[in-house]
Structure 1
Amino acid sequence: MQVHVRPYEARDLDPIVDLSLRAWVPVYESFARVLGPEVFQRQYPDWRTSQRDEVVAACTEGKAHVWVAESGAEVVGFVAVVLEPEGGAGAVELLAVDPACQGQEVGTTLTEFATTWMKEAGVTLASIWTGGDPGHAPARRTYEKAGYTALPLVRYYKAL
């Protein structure tokens, strides 16, 4: 798949939100299996709304630098990067690829683009956070392929 990465434009918001929500369905299904229904409902009572709000904020509030991946004229993915105020660190805050285009190097292209951009911006330490559950396995493979080192963290939940 031929992909072109370009800066985000306001017209991209709806396609980005749509593809993101579709891309994160397997992640939240994985969370539901791992956490069980009682904890999942408490932690993520309306994940679609919270994820939508997070994507909209990243694209519109000016804190993140956002780019989209296009194939032809179709938006097939996006990445949002936040730089720390001190300038030495940066993070990929959000990255999503349309499910129809996953496994076709779109995520790798966006990860490498964001990493290169951060380096050119003077960042000396880049980070990406993702889950350790089965639903995030493709993301982990992409980030490791791009040279990121995983630091396993564990978060525990309990319904009360």
Structure 2
Amino acid sequence: MPPPPTPHIRPFLPADVDAVVALSLRAWAPVFASFEHVLGRVVYRRLYPDWRRQQAEAVREVLSGDRARCWVAESDGRPVGFVAVVLTRESDGPESDCGEIEMIAVDPADQRRGVGAALLDRGIEHIREAGRSLAVIGAGGDPGHAPARHAYERAGFRPLPQVRYYRTI
């Protein structure tokens, strides 16, 4: 069986907003289900009373602002994934020589076809072109993020495990 074709990566266009928000929500649904399972319903509902609305707003904000550069993976003329990259400032301390892949999502129907890897490559290339020498990306330690962690490690990222605890009071 031949490998899947390399996805076409292009700059984000304002006309992509609705499609990118929709694919992001589909991509991140398993993550939020995992959060609810790990945190329990009470803590989860306090943190994410309406995760779809919260995430849609977060994606729209990163796409519309001037803080991040964004690219879209396109297949058959439609967005199937996106990546948003933020470059650090000199005032950012020890990570002042970094670029961060702030958001990345691939539509579930297009996952495991090299789309995420191509988006990661584009984000890393942007960081390199900007003269930074360190790329950073974050992921949760929950089971829902396991595929993302695997992809990031396959792309050469090294994890620094951290734990964040929650408790209702």
Question: Same fold by TM (over 0.5)?
Answer: yes
Q: Which residue pairs with 1:101 in the alignment?
A: 110
CA distance in 1, matches of 2:131, 2:78: 31
In the aligned structure 2, how far is the partner of 1:113 from the partner of 1:146? 12
Farther off after superposition, 85-94 or 39-48: 85-94
For structure 2, list consecutive stretches of 5 or more residues without a partner in the other structure: 91-95
What is the match of residue 50 of structure 1?
A: 54
SS of corresponding position for 1:122:
coil
**Aligned partner (choices 124, 129, 145) of residue 115 of structure 1:** 124
Residues 47-105 of structure 1: CA distance to partner in whole angstroms, max 9, x if unpaired? 11111111001110111000000012011000000001226211000000001011111
Equivalent in the alignment of 1:150? 159
Where does the alignment leave 5 or more consecutive residues of structure 1 unmatched?
Answer: none
Structure-1 residue corresponding to 2:144: 135
2:12 aligned partner: 8
The residue that corresponds to 1:62 in the other structure is 66
1:8-36 deviations in Å (ceiling 9; x for gaps): 00000000000001111000000000011
TM score, norm. by length of structure 1: 0.97
- Output the aligned Cα RMSD: 0.9
Letter in 2 for 1:19: L
- Of the three residues 35, 41, 47, the one matched with 2:39 is 35
Secondary structure, aligned partner of 1:24: helix
TM-score, scaled to structure 2: 0.92
Bigger Cα displacement from structure 2, 113-122 vs 126-135: 113-122
* In 2: Cα distance, 1:70 partner to 1:57 partner: 21
- Equivalent residue number for residue 23 of structure 2: 19
Q: Hey, what does 1:71 align to over in structure 2? A: 75
How far does residue 45 in structure 1 lie from its aligned partner after superposition?
A: 0.9
